[in-house]
Structure 1
Amino acid sequence: MAYAIIRSGGKQFRVEEGARVRLPTINKRAGEAVELEALVVGGADGGVKIGSPLVEGARVAATVVDHGRGEKIIVFKKKRRKQYKRTQGHRQNYTTVKIDSIG
């Protein structure tokens, strides 16, 4: 099965055809197609193409499935003996995409 390492939102993800992947938010509506940049492409035959930084002509086609928010992360700050405590929560937005083709 072919795979690729793509770049989205300043992070890298290993994807395969037919997989669903959570990426940082992409400004597209559900059902819209999106093209992602491929850094590394590996084929079913074992051949690997490594880009510098991108593989020329390699495109990863995907479809936006939905948007959502991740689990809540709690940030707690405290300074001892000073009666200083702060609690802050954060939920990261994400986009789920389905990888249609790697080529």
Structure 2
Amino acid sequence: MFAVVDIAGQQFVVTENKKIYVPKLSNEPDSEVVFDTVLLYNDDKNTKVGAPKVEGVKVHAKVLEHVKDDKVLVFKKKRRKSYKKKNGHRQQLTRIEITKIA
């Protein structure tokens, strides 16, 4: 059994007891969150495709922690102009565990 869920504008394939990193959510750690924008649902017999979402199917998840991703370096340079600029970015993520697809 799996589902495709839209979380904060990104699509994720989820199964029960799977741990994934998603863009930062405003929920506190150890709280439960429910996603109702399920785009596709498969229960090993039938496949339901939403237009735009599947009605009556929700994904329950537990927020585990808030973390930061690895640093991404942005380096700009223009040759022979003495122009160099170095910048870094760390994306904030939330680690969740899928508890139930119902």
TM-score normalised according to structure 2 size: 0.95
| Residue 5 (structure 1) aligns with | 4
Q: What are the ranges of 5 or more consecutive residues in structure 1 without an aligned counterpart? A: none
Inter-partner Cα distance in structure 2 for 1:100 and 1:27: 19
How many corresponding residue pairs? 101
Counterpart of 2:7, as a letter, is S
The Cα shift of 1:44 comes to: 2.3
Q: What is the rounded CA distance, in whole Å, between the counterparts of 1:44 and 1:101 in structure 2? A: 16
**5+ residue gaps, structure 2:** none
- CA displacement, residues 7-34 of structure 1 (integer Å, 9 cap, x when unaligned): 1121101010010010000100111110
Give the match for residue 95 of structure 2.
96
Q: Give the corresponding residue for 1:16.
A: 15
Aligned residue runs from structure 1 range 71-82, under 5 A: 71-82=70-81
Give 2:62's aligned amino acid: T
**TM superposition score normalised by structure 1:** 0.94
Identity of aligned residues (%): 37
Q: Which runs of 4+ in 1 moved over 6 A?
A: none
Residue 39 of structure 1: aligned partner? 39
CA shift at 1:99, angstroms?
A: 0.3
